[in-house]
Every structure is written in C-alpha cells, then in structure tokens.
Amino acid sequence: MIGIRGIVFDCDGVLFESKRANLAYYNAILEVFDEPPVTEDEPEKAHLCHTAASSHVLMQLLGEERAPEALSMAVELDYRQCSSFHLWSPNPACRNPWPVSLQNIPWR
C-alpha cells in the first residue's frame, strides 16, 4: 500500500447512517420557508429526504414555485453543520480502528 494517501468511501449506510443528518439539512431549508420540519415519524417524507436528489426533494416539499429558490439556497448551505447528526453504522463489520475525517463537497 505504499503511495496510497487516502481512501474514499460512499458513507451512506456503509460507515455512517446519514438519515438524521439529511433531515437536519432539509429542515434548515424548510425553516427559512416557514415550513414545519420533516420528522422520522413521517416515513415517506423522511425516506424522500434520505434517498432522492435535492431538486426532487425540494419540489415535493415546497412545490414548483418555491423549489428553485430553495435549491439555490441548498447549494450554499454548508452540510458540515449537519455532520453532528451522523451516526456510526450499526454493522459491526464497519467498525474502524483508524481516525476518520468526514468531508462533504458541495455540488455545483
């Protein structure tokens, strides 16, 4: 492994459970639009926030008129503010003895 300086993982459900972080991200946007937050008690909406592209999520939650403005805001929102909501995966095979850095790169 000489020369390898890092490894990139797809973290969704592999190393981390990110459902709560995704809900926090979309709820930050909904708050600006004076909409109630999506909770884990709303399985269809929570699943949407966890699995769909932002454009689709915002179209479903805010409607066609407000979705473009919300998407512009979403691009500028720093997802790292939601990283405290990430949970380690319950899968014991995913336990990691090495230091982990969580980095999110905004989509443009």
Look up residue 84 and give its amino acid: S
pTM: 0.70
Residue 15, number of CB atoms within 10 A of its CB: 18
Where do the structural domains in the chain lie, given as residue ranges? 23-94
Position 64: which residue type? E
- For residue 86, the model assigns a pLDDT of 55
41-99 pLDDT tens trace: 999 999 999 888 899 999 999 999 999 999 998 888 876 666 666 555 555 555 555 55
Looking at the predicted structure, is the pLDDT value of residue 102 above 70? no
Task: Give 5-39 pLDDT, tens digit per residue.
Answer: 776 665 566 666 778 888 988 999 999 999 999 99
pLDDT: is 102 or 82 the higher one?
Answer: 82
Residue 98 to residues 6, 52, 89, 101, 105: CA-CA distances in angstroms? 12, 31, 15, 10, 22
